[in-house]
Structure 1
């Protein structure tokens, strides 16, 4: 687990909430006497992205306002190895959604390449996120323990050894209350124990298909952390780190450390004061902040950005006598994984092998597009990719009576960036729609459709506002008024140019995640007359074949009041 001495000087560094953007990394902080220093490095939301991301999200904005290309595990590995080499002791964490909804170069091999990558990087511990459970608990257990896939065997290698690092989720249990994952791990730094706790948000079932988590229970995260921290304390572990797959939510434009929304809001300030550092992960926002713990003592909370673009680093000092963290000596920062250093050659070879092995399938042409089709949302919340997927699903389900389509933005995982001559490949459409969701056509009344669209505006348990705008097919239009009172934000619904009748029933096609009430859209659970309509990826590929080249849809289906 320990990194070696620095072999050469590295240039740029950042302190506090400043994002590192140079060709080097921050040196470890000078240490007071009689302490043990340890550098903690973390990445989250990798989602099996071995290659750098493409499209608008391939870049990050640095502290000076400029943008830079970032990400890719070969460059991530290069930074990690440099960061570890500069510290006497180091640990490397993965903070949830490390795999799941992965591109084909990982997903084609059931994410075994991503597990092997983490083994090679010597990951200390990994917190579970919701996407590690996408393929069910049995598959998670296989990835943890090793062994070939029960249906496809070992595609990536002759054998698969599984994860050489613990998978943590203190609030994940079976129906009878037995732990379904390790609640914590303990590592030793110069003989001093450091405990690591992992938890998922208690509302994780809202974001996973029910068949993937059958038999599992998700407990209250704060209660689980407090219980586990007390247990670690009873074992003599005073230095404790929490890995939490949830976004604290910050006002990035005005005050990057002012909580705005996100499930980690309460966790950051309410979990046990025995926790010395909190590392969170969820999406694009990155920050390095300090919040008071329940005793009013300052505690660092740090988060990087998804797909290996920005990682979190925290240098801790542990008192040799008390074995606790000296919080006033904690130095944390976030590091941009730029492309202006040499990629790690061993990891680069690893990536090239996975890409080459998947290319026969991933490189197959499915069609073309006249321009890039992205997930970037406009003022109404629509995106070109979301609208395209809705159109494709309606086209696929017309044969079973579908009249309109809706799809969720969370199901759009990658932009479609045109290749030479506008070519779009199977690997790209798979990366955009990787879940294997099946389509269902169901009946809703006009009144239920209106109620459903009102559910695009939700409030979390801690009072924070959430907005989930569903992408509509081209024949479905309505007006949205964000400042209207709750329950009165949607009006003027039309299908094929005709006003929606509250009493009439309409056939709506959605993916099965939404059909089960996913993302809080429980109106779907009250629908009637459900009919299967194939898989969403097949629908998208068929649409490309039938509309070659595809023109990116406009994002004006929802009228803004």
Structure 2
């Protein structure tokens, strides 16, 4: 398809060139072509309007307003589009999704994105949550290898191109998916390049990306830009799943970024790239940076969960094919819910909601009070403790003595107040899924006491901290005033001081066991044995130990 478009476009360009040459010298120059892009990033399968803080956005007046939901995204996209519009995305459109989408391996969300006209998307790190072969299935079609076809029948594949210029098969040096694609709009050609954060191997399961290499984003983008230039494409857009942080409460069209990985990419990418549309950090901003030739380049991001649509307008010189950089304008629009929901999309979402309802509403346990991710001064959380206890219980038969849970894998709180008709304190399968949506596999490994100490010291890096949540059988003390690498002391296992030379059986999910979140000491472990899915372990623990009372945060001492 892409090659055919290129050939047709090249033929059109030749005809156009002949026509221009035949014009008299006094003829007026051809007008510039207007182009509009509408982009989304980090949708994460939020077909239904997200709730809580995830369901509000700061609007242009600085006011938090309800935002998001597929039916409202569809309405806003229609209102913002004109005849010269292309719709694109910047990754994490699936993965870490609510049950309505995740129960069917995000096929509903990918179908929705195709229905609203998305034509190209960078891959995000969450697109690799189930491994790259599953991502290829999502792109090209076929039924899931384990669960088979969804209620909708055989999956036909995404209607848009996933782009992954920096994800390379190590054995063949070929990209896993297309590195770039070309679209023609209003008589001009636009090249789209997609890259994902090069840190992906540290934040997804190692097994799912085995044999893949994640190149530097700029290096890969420049490689793709050279390919596009060789094909005569001079207008280029970089879709990058990486970005920057901004101050809390920032309005959608403010820049205000704290320069980081996203800014580096936006500034250093090939001068042929005209604009950089970003994601990953779930922030909203519209910036202008300078490219390596000192020319202006638009750099923007549109929040997350379908709460913001980024609109980028620009003109393309019809003779040269170049973007007129001075014409670029970005505008982030909040996906408010004060507009009519798109009826067709509403019906689509309700269909999938009905399909998953029986499973989602099934009670699996109960709690006596909120189980939250609110940290104590030491960084311990009640919900993190319960999950660690559940994971230890799931691997006891494999000899596990302690368990550790990464805090980033705990995605939402368990609230005592009923969310539906199930009653206060009742935990449904859907609620448990929302807490642990990644379908990581549990495992147990052997670590020495010295390695356990080394692992716990990796809770701090130069860029921040990630406090591992311990099972009740593990205690330790932290002192943040001490240098990084020497902050943990008084480690005990089952109440006894950890022996540096002794071997301990440690349970964790396969994300951590693969060295995720920078806990590379896990990769030095031996005797790995795998067990159930983490969600299954959590559900089984809830069922067998309810009602659960929030534990006191006494497993980690100090501050």
Partners of 2:89 and 2:226 in 1: how far apart? 23
User: Structure 1 residues 377, 291: CA separation in 2 closer, same or farther (over 3 Å shift)?
Assistant: farther
Q: Does the 8 Å CA contact 2:121/2:162 hold for their aligned counterparts?
A: yes
Q: Which residue of 1 aligns with 2:302?
A: 304
SS, match of residue 421 in structure 1? coil
Structure 1 residues 276 and 524, CA gap change in structure 2 (3 angstroms): same
Is contact 2:62-2:250 (8 Å) kept?
no
The counterpart of 1:413, out of the listed 411, 414, 420, is 411
With over 3 angstroms needed to count, the CA separation of the structure-2 counterparts of 1:466 and 1:292, relative to structure 1, is farther
The partner residue of 1:205 within 198, 201, 204 is 201
Given that residues 274 and 325 in structure 2 are in contact (C-alpha distance below 8 angstroms), is that contact kept between their aligned partners in structure 1? yes
Instruction: Tell me, in whole angstroms, the C-alpha distance in 2 between the residues paired with 1:284 and 1:179.
Output: 26
Tell me the SS of whatever aligns to 2:450.
helix
| In the alignment, structure 1 residue 249 sits paired with structure 2 residue 245 | yes
Change (3 A) 1:380 1:349: farther
Distance 1:270 1:556, change over 3 A: farther
Equivalence for 1:389: 387
Tell me the CA shift for residue 47 of structure 1.
1.9
In structure 2, the residue corresponding to 1:308 is in which secondary structure? coil
Deviates more, 1:470-479 or 1:332-341: 470-479
Task: Select 1:53's aligned residue among 36, 45, 50.
Answer: 50
1:129 aligns to 2:127 (yes or no) = no
The alignment status of 1:542 with 2:550, answered yes or no, reads no
- Whether the aligned pair in 2 keeps the contact of 1:183 and 1:228 (CA below 8 Å) is yes
107-116 vs 412-421, greater mean Cα deviation: 412-421
Paired residues, number: 522
Per the TM alignment, residue 149 of structure 1 is displaced from its structure 2 partner at its CA by: 3.0
- The alpha-carbon distance between structure 1 residues 71 and 211, as it changes in their structure 2 partners (threshold 3 A), is same
Give me the whole-angstrom Cα distance separating, in 2, the residues matched to 1:88 and 1:541: 49
**Aligned mates of 2:480, 2:324 — CA distance in 1:** 46
Contact 2:245 2:281 in 1 (8 A): no
Shift of 1:496: 4.5
Does residue 328 of the first structure (1) align with residue 326 of the second (2)? Answer: yes
Equivalent of 1:275 in 253, 273, 276: 273
Deviation at 1:466, TM superposition (A): 4.0
The secondary structure found in structure 2 opposite 1:330 is: strand
Among residues 61, 68, 71, which one is paired with 1:71 in the alignment? Answer: 68
Which of 403, 412, 420 is equivalent to 2:401?
403
Cα offset, 1:378, TM superposition: 5.6
**Counterparts in 2 of 1:11-410, with a 5 A limit?**
34-62=31-59, 64-84=61-81, 87-174=82-169, 175-252=171-248, 257=255, 260=258, 262-377=260-375, 380-410=378-408
1:528 aligns with: 526
Q: 1:431 aligns with which of 413, 430, 434?
A: 434
Stretches of structure 2 lacking an aligned partner (at least 5 in a row): 1-29
Distance, in Å, in 1 between the alignment partners of 2:70 and 2:206 is: 31
- Which of 480, 483, 486 is the aligned partner of 2:484? 486
1:115–1:163: 8 Å Cα contact kept in structure 2? yes
Contact 1:77–1:121, Cα closer than 8 Å, also in 2: yes
Query: Does structure 2 retain, via aligned residues, the 8 Å contact 1:408–1:514?
Result: yes
Give the whole-Å Cα distance in 2 for the aligned partners of 1:497 and 1:70: 48
Contact (CA 8 Å) 2:244, 2:281: kept in 1 or not?
Answer: no
Matches within 5 A, 1:497-516: 497-516=495-514
Contact 2:439-2:533 at 8 Å conserved across structures? yes
Q: Distance in 2 between matches of 1:362 and 1:410?
A: 23
Conserved? CA contact 1:42–1:95, under 8 Å: yes
Write the distance in 1 (CA, Å) between the matches of 2:492 and 2:500: 11
Q: Is the 8 A contact 1:440 1:511 kept in 2?
A: yes
Cα distance in 2 for partners of 1:414, 1:421 equals 17
Q: Which runs of 5+ in 1 are unaligned?
A: 1-32, 460-464
Question: Could you tell me how far 1:222 is from its partner in structure 2?
Answer: 1.1
Deviation at 1:197, TM superposition (A): 0.5
In structure 2, relative to structure 1, the CA distance for the partners of 1:189 and 1:383 (3 Å cut) is: farther
Deviations 1:337-364 (A, max 9, x none): 2222222111111110001011121221
TM-score by length of 2: 0.86
Offset, 1:541? 0.8
The alignment's TM-score, normalised by the length of structure 1, stands at: 0.86
Cα RMSD for the two superposed structures: 2.6
Mark the CA change 1:311 to 1:493 in structure 2 (over 3 Å): closer, same or farther: farther
Which stretch of structure 1 is more off in the superposition, 54-63 or 513-522? 54-63
d(CA) in 2 for partners of 1:503, 1:538 = 34
Larger radius of gyration: 2
